[in-house]
Structure 1
Amino acid sequence: MPRRLVKVTPAKLATWSDCPRRYRMAYLDRPAPKRGGPWASSTLGAVVHNALKGYFDLPQERRTEEQAADLVRRCWKSDGFRDAEQAEVYRDRAKQWVADYVRGLPPGMEPIGLERWVSTPTEKIVAEGRVDRIDLRDGELVIVDYKTGRHALGVDDARGSQALALYAIAARRTLRRPCRRVELHHLPSGEVAVWEHTEESLGRHLTRAEEAAEDLALAADTLAAGGDQDVLFPPSPGRQCSWCDFRRHCPEGQDAAPEVEPWATLAP
């Protein structure tokens, strides 16, 4: 019999790595446990992503800073914010971030992919996911990931990102072009973290992804056969438990870190 390939996304792999219990609740339990409410930082990130996609969907002659800022206004949601006043402050900040960002883009640039789904099979897994933006520069693909978090990111973040590495591997297979460069674009600071992968560094990321995929697939199969869910999917309590969507269902997580407000993870 051919070997069953495990289908994974960077989000699934990250969830498994962070906390097997959270992975079980998010992807295996049916019915799924009720999640917590929306986080303001997630809302903010989604608005910025949608506004930038809308910006590049416009014809070249309409791509202006004013249009970019207006797209933030049109995409805006206030889910997770403390109140209307706080939401208005961050809406204005996001408008400025996006306007400043598009001002610095090369004139006439045209991404080859926006919110593009890419996928690649290996001997053990099918790695897939949705990339914020894919550029074509000097005949090679470049993976661009937008960030709106509290802290600027550096070269180590770009180099160590399994998600970006898997996107690069999948993009070159999907779009049939070389892809080694990955970039993290942090809009609040305007900083860009860049890493140029080698075949060896991409291979290391892929090997780790395959090992994690085998572990999570084995745990899922054993659970389906009647295994103990707490043994197969133990919690990994830590400070991240403060903003876990499944905190209400996890006593260990509640003991590990205090509950925080939905707007606590916003960029200052």
Structure 2
Amino acid sequence: MDSSIEEGAPPVGAPTAAPTGGTDGPGPPAADGAAGEAADAGAAGETAEAGAVRVAAAPTSLSPSRAGDFIQCPLLYRFRVIDRLPEKPSEAATRGTLVHAVLERLFDAPAAERTAPRATALIPGQWDRLRESRPEVDELFAGDPEGERLARWLGEAERLVERWFTLEDPTRLEPAERELFVEAELDSGLRLRGIIDRVDVAPTGEVRIVDYKTGKAPRPEYAESALFQMKFYALVVWRLKNVVPRRLQLVYLGSGDVLTYDPVLDDLRRVERKLLALWEAIREATATGVWRPRPTKLCGWCDHQAHCPEFGGTPPPYPLPVRAAGSGGDTQGRMGPD
């Protein structure tokens, strides 16, 4: 860990947040935090409501979670971004949201008061706030009249928060930003957006991007995939500030591991090329209406099996105009109801 970023004068030069807008669809099964869910409205293509009919719009930007969806399964991307199919909350994702909120709020306290007991004491209040803002999470414990499952679940969140104190020392940290929304437009016109859990800035101006994960660290052969999100953020910061972050840091609370990577400019340029190719594939699928499923072991987590051809399902009518085969720019189809 780079101690020069942990200590020193008040941070300066943090990336500037762009205005937020809209809400995102649900994240992957193990998604961490509500922040990532708030970043993808543009990536998903907002829907305009006219009475009871919602008119779908083509995607206009890209976030790490939605890029990951398309890489995992183009049809999953369509279900989440184009069709906006509902997904049930999960205990793992909701726990991640709760832990993120606690770690964010802890830094409101003076450095000397950022202790594990204070952090765990924040859990009940943050859980109440989460239930108020997202009433659907109450469904998770609807069949738990005695509150036993909820108590165990809250206890697991408490252990994750306590483990964080064995990995980082918040009394030596003064984050420049927490839950920072960032957005940048590439030369190609593609807009990238996302929310960074924490940005630390050293007195010398070096930037560290930190992301909390409530799951376990991946095996070494999957580390590159895990770092994709962080390199995405680093690319946005570079495009916004012309500064390559000094360090990317993934803090895995589930296993007590910290994964770090020090990017160089060539890394970010490679990520940019990958994202541009990915965006072209998304634009082609949007225009043709062809979103192919990509079966993997993760299909067992998917809420959309009833609509997936791999499981005998039928996708809903495609709600965007499609380009007829061999027609060049002509389109066919209609804007259907949601």
Which fold has the larger relative contact order, with Cα–Cα distance below 8 Å and residues 6 or more apart in sequence?
1
Kept in 1: contact 2:217–2:257 (CA 8 A): yes
Distance 1:154 1:55, change over 3 A: farther
SS in 2 for 1:146: strand
Q: Is the 8 A contact 1:139 1:177 kept in 2?
A: no
Distance across 1 between alignment mates of 2:307 and 2:214: 28
Gaps of 5+ in 2: 1-58, 132-137, 314-338
2:270 to 201, 204, 209: 204
Name the structure 2 match of 1:126.
191
Tell me: CA distance 1:238–1:253, structure 2 relative to 1, closer, same or farther (3 Å).
Answer: farther
Aligned-pair distance for 1:92?
1.4
Structure 1 SS opposite 2:180: strand
Partner of 1:27 in structure 2?
A: 81
Residue by residue over 1:132-177, the C-alpha shift from the partner in whole angstroms, topping out at 9 and shown as x without a partner, is 111113521111111112x323666554422110101212444564
Q: Check if 1:142 corresponds to 2:205.
A: no
The structure with the largest helix share of the pair is: 1
Q: What residue in structure 2 maps to residue 48 of structure 1?
A: 99
CA contact (8 A) 1:158 1:194 kept: no
Aligned to 2:121: 70
2:153 to 90, 96, 99: 90
Does 2:171 match 1:107?
yes
Aligned-partner Cα distance in 2 for 1:18–1:131: 22
Kindly state the Cα deviation for residue 61 of structure 1 after the two structures are TM-superposed.
4.4
TM-score, reference length from structure 2: 0.64
- Superimposed CA distance per residue, residues 218-248 of structure 1 (whole angstroms, 9 cap, x where no aligned partner): 221x2xxxx4x3xx10111222111113222
What is the match of residue 258 of structure 1?
A: none
Measured in 1, the distance between the counterparts of 2:242 and 2:173 equals: 20
Which structure is larger by alpha-carbon Rg, 1 or 2?
Answer: 2
Runs of 4+ off more than 6 Å: none
Tell me if the contact between 1:241 and 1:253 (Cα under 8 Å) persists in the aligned partners: no
Counterpart of 2:118, as a letter, is: Q
C-alpha displacement at 1:212, in angstroms?
A: 0.2
Distance 2:231 2:238 in 1: 11
- Given that 1:10 and 1:129 are in contact with CA atoms closer than 8 Å, whether structure 2 keeps it comes out as yes
Residue 80 of structure 1 pairs with residue 140 of structure 2: yes
**CA–CA distance in 2 between the matches of 1:154 and 1:200?**
25
Q: 1:18 aligns with which of 72, 75, 78?
A: 72
Q: TM-score, normalised by structure 1?
A: 0.79
Q: 1:241 to 1:253 in 2, by over 3 A?
A: farther
RMSD in angstroms over aligned alpha carbons?
2.5
SS of the equivalent of 1:119 reads strand
Distance 1:98 1:173, change over 3 A: same
Structure 2 residue matching 1:110: 3-state secondary structure: coil
Deviation at 1:118, TM superposition (A): 1.2
Contact 2:176–2:199 (8 Å) recurs in 1: yes
